[in-house]
């Protein structure tokens, strides 16, 4: 569990509107105890009341997010332990005791899931990260590549990023989680990939694709849950 003194860090790509970020901020303001929100990368014009670390985004999306995490970890102003989020992570229920540590189960199981559906850089990075962890003595590493906030200790994440610096696509949450010995509880991933009405409306955490947020049942559910502007929006309280 984390405490209200932790910051939230969210890498944000260049984009004019980003409605997923708007509702993610509303969900964090309502349900996730924290001190500051740090946007690393691009800060939309409508965002208010957050801290900002600009970064250059001239690499792949994986390189850009890794650079953003490194920038946050290297900042003396960000809390020593922070919550690493994406701009499509929604916290749907109050977390009065802070954010628990959650993982997705063994990397081997996650690898089998992706290998049955697609190939590409993400799967290659999963395998590279797994092989590195095995070489370092973690014979059955856990996957922390969930679409939920992850508590991160800055010094330990920097060490993990240095260890994985040579990887083409480092799975930084997984590398960090195993090297830091995070442990935690296993859950299924909460990312909704389609517009189906079949999703857990009681889930404490949800995540969307741009299409499922804009046009899916899950996006409508999220928008209904947080109808009012929050303190991080122009015109918010």
Supply the CATH number for residue 110's domain. 3.90.550
Q: Is 195 exposed, middle or buried (0-12, 13-18, 19+ CB in 10 A)?
A: middle
Give 126-170 pLDDT, tens digit per residue: 999 999 999 999 999 999 999 999 999 999 999 999 999 999 999
**pLDDT level of residue 2 (50, 70, 90 thresholds):** low
Compute the distance between CA of residue 236 and CA of residue 5 in angstroms, rounded to an integer: 22
In a domain, 223, yes or no: no
Contacts of 115 (CB under 8 A, 6+ apart): 123
The pTM score is 0.95
User: What percent of the chain shows pLDDT beyond 70?
Assistant: 97
Q: What residues make up the domain containing 34?
A: 7-87+102-187
Residue range 40-57: mean pLDDT, rounded? 96
In a domain, 229, yes or no: no
Q: Which residues of 144-179 are buried (b: 16+ CB within 10 A; e: fewer)?
A: bbbbbbbbbbbebbbbbbebbeebebbbbbbbbbbb
In a domain, 45, yes or no: yes
In a domain, 153, yes or no: yes
- The 10 Å Cβ neighbour count of residue 81 is 18
At residue 29, the 3 state secondary structure works out as helix
């Amino acid at each position: 569990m984390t405490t209200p003194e932790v910051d939230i860090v969210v890498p944000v790509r260049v984009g004019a509107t980003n409605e997923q970020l708007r509702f993610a901020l509303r969900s964090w303001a309502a349900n996730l105890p924290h001190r500051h929100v740090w946007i690393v990368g691009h800060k939309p014009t409508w965002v208010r009341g957050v801290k900002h670390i600009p970064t250059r985004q001239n690499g792949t999306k994986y390189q850009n997010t890794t650079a953003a995490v490194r920038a946050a970890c290297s900042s003396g102003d960000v809390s020593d332990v922070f919550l690493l989020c994406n701009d499509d992570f929604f916290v749907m229920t109050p977390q009065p005791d802070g954010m628990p540590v959650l993982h997705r189960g063994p990397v081997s199981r996650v690898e089998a899931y992706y290998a049955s559906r697609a190939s590409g850089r993400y799967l290659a990075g999963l395998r590279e990260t797994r092989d590195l962890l095995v070489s370092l003595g973690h014979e059955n590493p856990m996957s922390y590549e969930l679409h939920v906030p992850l508590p991160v200790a800055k010094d330990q994440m920097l060490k993990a990023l240095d260890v994985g610096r040579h990887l083409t696509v480092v799975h930084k949450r997984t590398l960090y989680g195993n090297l830091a010995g995070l442990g935690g509880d296993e859950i299924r991933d909460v990312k909704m990939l389609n517009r189906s009405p079949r999703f857990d409306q009681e889930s404490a955490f949800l995540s969307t694709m741009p299409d499922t947020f804009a046009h899916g049942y899950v996006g409508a559910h999220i928008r209904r849950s947080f109808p009012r502007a929050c303190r991080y929006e122009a015109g918010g309280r």
